[in-house]
Amino acid sequence: METQLHFTTQGLVIKEMNVGENDRLITLFTKEYGILKAYVAGAKSIKSKRSAACSLLTYSSFTVTRKGENYRITEAETISSFFSMGMDVEILSLCQYFCELSSVFVGSMIPNEEFLRLILNSMHFLTKEKKFPPLIKAITEFRIAVISGYSPNLVACDSCGKFEDDIFFFNMENGSLICKDCTENIEGKTVLDRTTLSALRHIAFSEFKKLYSFEIPEKSAISLSKITQKYLNLQTDYKFKTLDFLNSITTY
């Protein structure tokens, strides 16, 4: 997408890096331009009016100027911040994982409004609504898989077409669902009970406004989170550094 020399956009700061003594290079996930890197002059100064709005995990309105291939933030105003002092390290790490997911799946200068909406809502339910972290993680991971073209076939058994059963087996490598009557070899397949399969179907097929409108027991949410994490990793074959750290500090 060709950008103007001077434009305004809204975006989430998903990465920041200090440059010199006072400047900062930030990576934004924007509504219109996808992933965008821009310099913020004097951002580290306590006198800077742009500092807070250009901080990690902050959703802001930005005025941007372009010169050649370089972008600079000239004005910034905070819309919502998902970071707070004394923030739980697990919540912070999960938010940073969401940021890494954004940087991996969304292209530079390629708009993806649905993806941005997902990340912003997940951070809201995680930090403001205090929803159970493994559930929000699972919702985010699996919906990202669907948005990014890795949607599995969860409608019915791949062999006989059966829709409901107490137990199904999920082949994560090809995204197929097999009922217990059609499964000859369960090696490498993941067991899905009714609760877990129902949750996966909801995440994959529901309207966005209803995406977060379900609850499952915490034990089921933890199991669901492990399944969505494994599925995303298998489909993308990508090693997420923030996920490694997140897993090292969680007790689930």
* For the chain, domain boundaries: 6-81, 115-152+184-249
pLDDT level of residue 71 (50, 70, 90 thresholds): very high
- Closest residue by Cα to residue 63 from 48, 74, 71: 74
Q: Is the pLDDT of residue 45 over 70?
A: no
Q: Which CATH architecture has domain 6-81?
A: Beta Barrel (2.40)
pLDDT in tens, 82-116: 998 788 999 999 999 999 999 999 988 888 999 99
What is the C-alpha separation between 131 and 79, in angstroms, rounded? 22
pTM recorded for the entire structure = 0.93
Average pLDDT value over all residues in the chain = 92
What is the C-alpha separation between 173 and 188, in angstroms, rounded? 9
